[in-house]
Amino acid sequence: MEVTSMNSSNDYKLVNFNVPKYLITNFDYLVKFKRVSRTSMLIHLMESYIRREKKLMEEDNSLNKMLVDVQQRNRKELFKNLKKDMDEEYEPPMIPLTTDRSWDDYLKDTNQREDWSDISGVGFLDRLGR
87-116 pLDDT, tens digit per residue, is 666 777 777 666 666 767 766 666 556 666
pLDDT digits (tens, 9 = 90+) for 27-55: 999 999 999 999 999 999 999 999 999 99
Burial profile 88-102: b = 16 or more Cβ within 10 angstroms, e = fewer: eeeeeeeeeeeeeee
Residues contacting 118, CB < 8 A, separation 6+? 124
Identify the CA nearest to 72 among candidates 62, 80, 84, 83: 80
Q: What was the pLDDT predicted at 3? A: 47
pTM of the model: 0.46
CA angle 62, 67, 47 (to 5 degrees): 25
3-state class of 94 per DSSP?
A: coil
Q: What was the pLDDT predicted at 59? A: 86
